[in-house]
Structure 1
Amino acid sequence: MGDDLGVPGHARLLPRRRLRQPRRLAGRDPRRRGAARFLKARLRRLALPLVPWVACWAVFDLAMLAAGRPSVLHWGAAVLAPLWFLGVYGAAVAAVPLTARAHLAWGWRVPAVLAVAVLAADTLRLGLGWGQPVVGLAGSLAVWLFAHQLGYFWRDGTLLAGGWRRPAAVATAGLLGLVLLTTLGPYPRSMVSVAGERMSNMFPTTAPVMALAVFQLGLALLARPALAAWLRRRGPWRAVVVANSLTMPVFVWHMTALVAFLWLYERAGFVLATETSTTWWLTRWVWVVGPGVLLAAILAVLARVRRVRRAGAR
């Protein structure tokens, strides 16, 4: 249980010790299934939560168009936000047989090349203004492949050797890179889109997100011994299992809950402050609690539907 705590990058494909012949890895996953079955299972888990989401938005969109209202695409990124990341993440998952072999064959050279690719894409896009759509997409994919690749170094024990010193070095390097990039570079300090900024670090994904991944990995490694000991207790472990089962539904539906809450809030005659002020600070809780309650209601409905379907299938 503790050994698999927080392992990113589907790194459980790797054995504890590095294999000298990469071909031994082919066709394996944590349960010794074939690579094709592994990918099918992983991609299915990514795709299934999207089915009710797409269905609900499709019905709502048809209703809006029938009423002579603008399409839901009017909200653009707010509505479609989950899709771009799931697409990139799905590509990273699909590449696991290749990236796992690359890790066994070339080790640290793989994330090093990916890091160079990210910096090159940012330079072309931000420094030279060349090929933004294609280069931005390529840079985004390189960032997430880089983050995904780090999981292999966790699983094979490379980052766990030497006690706390190596994790501390990883966290320090990530934080230093993040500070330098956002202070000396052209990047905003926020890792998510913020109104008024000339660009976003999130999409197209930029080098600071890559540095943030390194920083967060270091912190996770430092916290790992304490968390692993805590999760040996039955209660915390069950709570983590439940929370983990909700990860994808929360990610898919959180922006829907936010948009729906704001629509209901404004229809009720209220207006959320958008300028930084005392009122803005005093209403921060509304932005969190309101969508959170609506999201919990959505998840409860989805859970109820799943239970009914399972009962009917018996």
Structure 2
Amino acid sequence: MTTDRGDGHRAPAGVAALADATPAGRDRLVDGVRAAAIVVVILWHWVGSLTHRGADGVIVMPNPVDAVPLGWAATWALQVMPLFFVVGGFANLAGWDAAGHRAGVFLRRRARRLLAPVGVWVVLWAGVEVVATLAGAASPLVAWFPGVLTPLWFLGVYALVTALVPVTAGRHRRAPAATLGALLLVVVLAETLRRAGALPVAGVMSSALVWLLVHQLGYLWRDHGRVPGGVALAVAGVGLGSLVVATGVLGYPRSMVGANLWPTTPAVVALAVLQLGLVALLAPAADRLLRRRRPWRCVVAVNATAMTLFVWHMTGFAAVFLVVEHLGAAPGGVPDAGWVLARPFWLLAPAVVLAGLVAVFRRAELR
């Protein structure tokens, strides 16, 4: 990346230069939420799992939420995928406007940012698999550590909702409330069919529609911007009330990881509304924080390589797991005191490996 120095030449743009060049009118809160969401997802995968090799020799990554008292409550704050899609809706509507509502321009820009880091990841892993096959590996290496593929489901769904922006943004501009209401109605119908077992593909339909609806909430955020504290509190209250009804009356799991994600249930929509309201409540304090140079540089650093961080973070974790297992210190599958004491290691060691991977592969995204 480069930045104009003011003398007609282009100089390399580091994080500091990018941060200092931020336009005064940019809504830093959106960038801050996106960066925080990426970091929370990565740390959750590293620190919040019971990754171990089962009795059958297969590596599994169960979540300890059910084994921890009130662990499900933590997922209402830390399951940030809904919030990431809301932020994506905000950013995609801004990008749609910046592209002059030209579908080709918008899609080329979004595809370049999203697919370049993924393309590098796919090519490198494909090369590893070819080498492993030629060396006589009994099964694909990526199957050895299923967590390596974790980012792909999210990227696939996010790419889908992004590809539909020319349609959904156009409908939103013409009739925002009606479009949101129609999506909600279709989600309810698809979910009713899924739960009744009346349509085999209803689970796929309801999952896609839920994420599309959550993404659409970001359009509303983009349109209305900052709202008074009372409105923000009301939005959070609606989200919380809906989540309580969904998990207490309608029978959806209280934990927002696992069963609520596939197939994706309407409880995720309620969680997105709750989180959007909480972000709006915290907006004034967050804005003051992000006006400071150091926090803002951290946000810029994460967002500049967000997709690179995301696609490679489980590869870094897998590498550490392989080394630890080779040294005879493989972790167990029980959230006991030893598991708790080991959490700092499983935060720092993968972070070191990921930093090296990002240093090598970030150029694809920075271009």
Report TM bin, short chain.
0.7 to 0.9
Summarize deviations over 1:241-292 as a string: whole Å, max 9, x none: 2121121111111222222222221111112121132222222333333322
Between 55-64 and 6-15, the greater mean CA deviation after superposition: 6-15
Q: Which amino acid aligns with 1:34?
A: R
Q: How far is the alpha carbon of 1:114 from its aligned partner?
A: 2.3
Counterpart residue type for residue 56 of structure 1: L
**Do the aligned residues in 2 keep the contact of 1:173 with 1:215 (CA within 8 Å)?**
yes
- Select the residue among 230, 243, 258 that pairs with 2:302: 243
Structure 2 Cα separation of the partners of residues 28 and 114 of structure 1: 20
Q: Among residues 266, 285, 308, which one is paired with 1:226 in the alignment?
A: 285
Aligned in 2, Cα 1:14/1:302: closer, same or farther, shift over 3 Å?
closer
Match of 1:88 among 138, 157, 174: 157
Once the two structures are overlaid, the 10-residue window that deviates more, 273-282 or 28-37, is 28-37
Within the candidate set 61, 66, 86, 2:129 is matched to 61
Q: Residue 341 of structure 2 is aligned with which of 270, 279, 282? A: 282
Q: For 1:60 and 1:185, how far apart are their aligned partners in 2?
A: 46
TM-score relative to the length of structure 2: 0.70
Matched residue, 1:188: 253
Residue of structure 1 in register with 2:238 after alignment: 173
Aligned length: 287
5+ long unaligned stretches in structure 1 = 16-26, 194-199
| Distance apart, 1:130 and its partner CA | 4.1
- The normalised TM-score by structure 1 is 0.80
Query: C-alpha displacement at 1:128, in angstroms?
Result: 2.2
CA contact (8 A) 1:50 1:252 kept: yes
Query: CA 1:122/1:76 → structure 2, altered by over 3 Å: closer, same or farther?
Result: farther
> Residue 124 in 1 paired to residue 193 in 2?
yes
CA contact (8 A) 2:233 2:277 kept: yes
Contact 1:81 1:255 in 2 (8 A): yes
1:48 equivalent in structure 2:
116
Unaligned ranges ≥5, structure 2: 1-23, 31-86
Q: Are 2:354 and 1:295 equivalent residues in the alignment?
A: yes
Partner SS for 1:29:
helix
| 8 Å CA contact retained: 1:160, 1:166 | no
Distance 1:232 1:58, change over 3 A: same
Q: Distance in 1 between matches of 2:150 and 2:354?
A: 16
CA contact (8 A) 2:121 2:312 kept: yes
* 2:175 corresponds to 1:152: no
- Secondary structure at the counterpart of residue 271 of structure 1: coil
Provide the C-alpha distance between the structure 2 equivalents of 1:227 and 1:4, rounded to a whole number of angstroms.
11
Contact 2:161 2:215 in 1 (8 A): yes
Structure 2 SS opposite 1:108: helix
What SS does the corresponding residue of 2:98 show, helix, strand or coil? Answer: coil
Counterparts of 2:298 and 2:351, CA distance in 1 = 19
Q: Pick from 178, 203, 207 the counterpart of residue 262 of structure 2.
A: 203
Letter in 2 for 1:93: T
Letter in 1 for 2:209: A
Note closer, same or farther for the CA distance 1:129–1:287 as it changes in structure 2 (3 Å cut): farther
Contact 1:72 1:79 in 2 (8 A): no
Structure 1 pair 50–13 and aligned structure 2 pair: CA distance change class (3 A):
closer
54 and 288 in structure 1: CA distance in 2 versus 1, 3 angstrom threshold:
same
Kept in 2: contact 1:9–1:152 (CA 8 A) = no
Q: For residues 263 and 149 of structure 1, what CA distance do their matches in structure 2 show?
A: 41
Which one has more relative contact order, counting CA pairs under 8 Å at least 6 apart?
A: 2
Q: Secondary structure at the match of 1:156?
A: helix
Letter in 2 for 1:155: R
Instruction: Calculate the aligned-residue CA RMSD, in Å.
Output: 2.8
Q: Residues 118 and 207 of structure 1 are in contact (CA less than 8 Å); yes or no, is this contact kept in structure 2?
A: yes
CA positional deviation for 1:138: 1.5
Deviations 1:162-186 (CA, angstroms, capped at 9, x unpaired): x111111111211222233223344
> Measured at CA, do residues 235 and 287 of structure 1 come closer, stay the same or move farther in structure 2, by a change above 3 Å?
closer
Of residues 97, 106, 118, the one that matches 1:29 is 97
TM superposition shift of 1:60: 1.6
Deviation readout 1:130-164 (Å, 9 max, x if unpaired): 444x222211211111111111211221x644x11
* Residue in 1 that maps onto 2:143: 74
Question: Match for 2:297: what amino acid?
Answer: R
Three-state SS of the structure 1 residue aligned to 2:97 is coil
Q: Is the 8 A contact 2:238 2:274 kept in 1?
A: yes
Cα drift, residue 5 of structure 1: 3.1
Write the letter of the residue equivalent to 2:254: R
Map of 2:326 onto structure 1: 267
The 1:212–1:60 alpha-carbon spacing in structure 2 relative to 1, beyond 3 Å, is same
Distance 2:217 2:282 in 1: 17
